[in-house]
Structure 1
């Protein structure tokens, strides 16, 4: 493996592997041209692992983006909340799918539960997976489920996706827009942050509105993390982080994983995929130069978003690293961006 194994902040590969239209044609351990990640392609791309997300879609809920175009962008409304029972069932199914991948891998794929395991995997060419839940609707407010899932391997939790739940409210997909939309964490949400701190579960502020972000920043004793978010000053979409938020991440010794979503990279918030990898480099560089190299990493959103054509899929990651190198990042800085910053933050967060 190269000096730059890439540990990634977010993918939706578990969901993609279960989609009815893809499941019959796609296997994680066989190379295909479906989706963004499978094991053979990951090896070609020096993908050392990442956060494998469990996410529950809204059944039967469809939105036509063309119906929500505004004079200068778009404003897509929040989907409705999902039921706890549905989210819990889905979480169990997808988590089991992740553990099955580990069992079928002949030791080449491991669900990691501590930073020592993560570092060992990255050093020894074993793909490392962190079980992450995107949106805490599956977690009951007594936190019984949280404790059970922690024992099973849960090490990262996003409080919300872009919809409300009992713990808080996510931002809608709105451009142009501040992330300051809606109220902060509920009392249950604040208690959830504290319980995650006690257990050593990383709290992800991605998709959370700005008031909720500041609640996490005030309550949490761990580094502040956004696993797949970008720079609002470069692309003023509601999903991106303001300079004030980025400064708070840096002061906490946290990290932001840069998302490859086209509409979160482009200054105009558009969806045309014919864009240069230099736009990803621009977001990385902005954080590195203004807030410090220790506070930026990768957070692809592979299998959950539309990425630049030049990147295509996980096999394009070496191109991205080379583009960062051409921009002026040295080997020490590239190691931090590609994996060391994530290892550091998780070392400080997990128990």
Structure 2
């Protein structure tokens, strides 16, 4: 396996504060979390000591407000409820920072300085996943002042856009929000956007990434990117992060069937053939509603994440591991 001491590892998508809101203590070992996990149906893979053991230096850490669903009875039902969830998660990141577990990064210069410090805590760049916490486009500046520089409009459907399994275009408010993002220098995370919303947003010309999206050419469904979507993201200079969920890697498999790690490498190679290795990165989502029982074979906890690098061309490994995200963050944050 690639030596972690010689690797810059950056993850484009972790739901750290959301997990804390579920009652998970991320300050101990994975073993300690598994022994007392309040989320018993997901075999935990992510804690701060585990991330350090893996060599993770920076991640995009989400503000993810969960809507009301049968499996999320405490979810939000309106913009104020979404705003309250996201601000509570923002407070959690600041508590972790005060305790020395993380460092919040809000500029390219800060990213450059941070990755030069070998003993620094985990660097976290805030990413809003699903824009309902932005109560109106005029509210966006409030979030930007608090360090949010990347926003995904959708998860499922939101007030702004169609999303995963919820087809639909940008709403009028969604168009206004994309324009406000452009004015404030906020990047659009295209992950979870439905096709119609993706192309509506793309027509407005925002800077785009996909923090955690696999290739629809290999797995059908609007959760994944078409080849044309991948090209559009790359055209803006964006990077695409690969998700470590088995059913996002092979089509038609049962939810609990694990796939070979080679399936993840296939998605990486597919993107590379389309847009080049400079736009391919990691967006594991390893704490995003699934556990080790649904990751590729050989990924038993987060420290195994870099294993996929050994299946990629040697010259591509450093970029996929973290170099491509580092470059993008330094240039665009």
The TM-score bracket by the shorter chain reads: 0.7 to 0.9
In the alignment, is residue 57 of structure 1 matched against residue 66 of structure 2?
A: yes
Say if 2:219 and 2:251, in contact at 8 Å, map to a contact too: yes
In the alignment, is residue 210 of structure 1 matched against residue 195 of structure 2?
A: yes
Partner residue, 1:250: 234
1:335 to 318, 321, 330: 318
Q: In the TM superposition, what is the alpha-carbon distance from 1:349 to its structure 2 partner? A: 3.0
Distance 2:60 2:178 in 1: 19
Partner residue, 1:139: 134
Q: In the TM superposition, what is the alpha-carbon distance from 1:32 to its structure 2 partner? A: 2.6
Distance 1:278 1:293 in 2: 17
Partner residue, 2:178: 193
Say if 1:265 and 1:280, in contact at 8 Å, map to a contact too: yes
* 1:299-318 pair list within 5 angstroms: 299-304=283-288, 305=290, 306-318=294-306
Q: Which runs of 5+ in 1 are unaligned?
A: 64-79, 173-180
Distance 1:349 1:211 in 2: 26
Q: In the TM superposition, what is the alpha-carbon distance from 1:230 to its structure 2 partner? A: 0.4
Q: In the TM superposition, what is the alpha-carbon distance from 1:112 to its structure 2 partner? A: 0.2
Partner residue, 1:232: 216
In the alignment, is residue 319 of structure 1 matched against residue 312 of structure 2?
A: no
Distance 1:37 1:121 in 2: 21
Distance 2:177 2:238 in 1: 19
TM-score normalised by length of structure 1: 0.83
* 1:93-104 pair list within 5 angstroms: 93-104=88-99
Say if 2:250 and 2:263, in contact at 8 Å, map to a contact too: yes
In the alignment, is residue 261 of structure 1 matched against residue 245 of structure 2?
A: yes
Distance 1:114 1:31 in 2: 30
Q: SS at the partner of 1:44?
A: helix
Q: In the TM superposition, what is the alpha-carbon distance from 1:269 to its structure 2 partner? A: 4.4
Partner residue, 1:169: 162
Distance 1:60 1:166 in 2: 16
Q: In the TM superposition, what is the alpha-carbon distance from 1:231 to its structure 2 partner? A: 0.6
Say if 1:3 and 1:335, in contact at 8 Å, map to a contact too: no
Say if 2:241 and 2:284, in contact at 8 Å, map to a contact too: yes
Partner residue, 2:112: 119
- The alignment's C-alpha RMSD in Å is 2.0
Please list the CA deviations of residues 112-161 of structure 1 after superposition, one character each: whole Å capped at 9, or x if unmatched.
Answer: 001111122222132210111111111122422x2122111112111011
Partner residue, 1:177: none
Please list the CA deviations of residues 195-239 of structure 1 after superposition, one character each: whole Å capped at 9, or x if unmatched.
Answer: 1122222211111101111122221342x2111000111111321
Q: In the TM superposition, what is the alpha-carbon distance from 1:47 to its structure 2 partner? A: 1.1
Q: Which runs of 5+ in 2 are unaligned?
A: 34-43
The number of residue pairs the alignment matches comes to 311
Q: SS at the partner of 1:165?
A: coil
Say if 2:9 and 2:322, in contact at 8 Å, map to a contact too: yes
Partner residue, 1:75: none
Say if 2:83 and 2:135, in contact at 8 Å, map to a contact too: no
* 1:260-279 pair list within 5 angstroms: 260-279=244-263
